[in-house]
Amino acid sequence: MELTNYLYLSVVLFALGATTVLLRRNTIVVFMGIELMLNATNLALVTFARMHGDVTGQVLAFFVMVVAAAEVVVGLAIIVTIFRARRSASVDDVNLLKS
């Protein structure tokens, strides 16, 4: 099977994730979009590793998984805390970062 197809799949998944992040207001859904982008990147990394016959890409994918796991823990905790404080899960309600 042509390896390029995996890349196409990766691009599609990344685009879906990015669109989710940009268009949806619900924090949980935005979070899922980010996860989707991370996994799309992992797929691309593994594919490149296979293309070049080099394990570096696979090792990097493992790193991404570990970071993603940690990020899920911290990110969900933040989301829950914000929800408790503001009774809202909309990202647009959290705009205190502006100058």
Partner 1 sequence: MTTQTLSLAPWLVATPLIGAALLLLIGRRGDRWGHWLGVLASTATFVIGLVILLDMLGVDAEQRVATSSVGTWIDAGPLTVDLGFQLDPLSMTFVMLVTFVGTLIHVYSVAYMSHDHDRRRFFAYLNLFVAAMLLLVLADNYLLLFVGWEGVGLASYLLIGFWDHHLPNAVAGKKAFLMNRVGDMGLIVAMMLMLATFGALDFGTVLGSADAADQGLNTAIGLMLLLAACGKSAQLPLQAWLGDAMAGPTPVSALIHAATMVTAGVYLLVRSGPLLEAAPDAQLVIAIVGALTLLFGAVVGCAKDDIKKALAASTMSQIGYMMLAAGLGPIGYAFAIFHLVTHGFFKAGLFLGAGSVMHGMDDDVDMRRFGGLWRLLPVTWITMGFGWLAILGVPPFSGFWSKDKIIEAAFVGEGWRPWVFGTVALVGAGITAYYMSRLFFMTFAGRRRWSADGADGTVERHPHESPLLMTVPMVVLALGSVGLGWVLAAGDGFVHWLEPVTGHAEHDEPVLAVPVIIGLTLTLVVVGAALAWVQYATRAVPTTAPPAPALVRAARVDLHQDDVNETLVMRPGQYLTRSMVFADRTAVDAGWLGLAGGVGRLGSWLRGWQSGYARQYAAITLGGLGVIVLVIWLVATTAG
SS3 at position 26: strand
Q: Which residues pair with 98 in a beta bridge?
A: none
| CB-based contact 14:43 (threshold 8 Å) | no
Taking CB under 8 A as the binding criterion, the range among 41-49, 60-68, 76-84, 87-95 that sits at the site for partner 1 is 87-95
Q: Which is nearer to partner 1, 1 or 99 (CB)?
A: 99
The residue count for binding partner 1 (CB under 8 A) is 13
Place of tokens 């990344």: 14
82 binds partner 1, rule: CB under 8 A: no
Residues that bind partner 1 (CB under 8 A): 18, 21-22, 25, 30, 91-92, 94-99
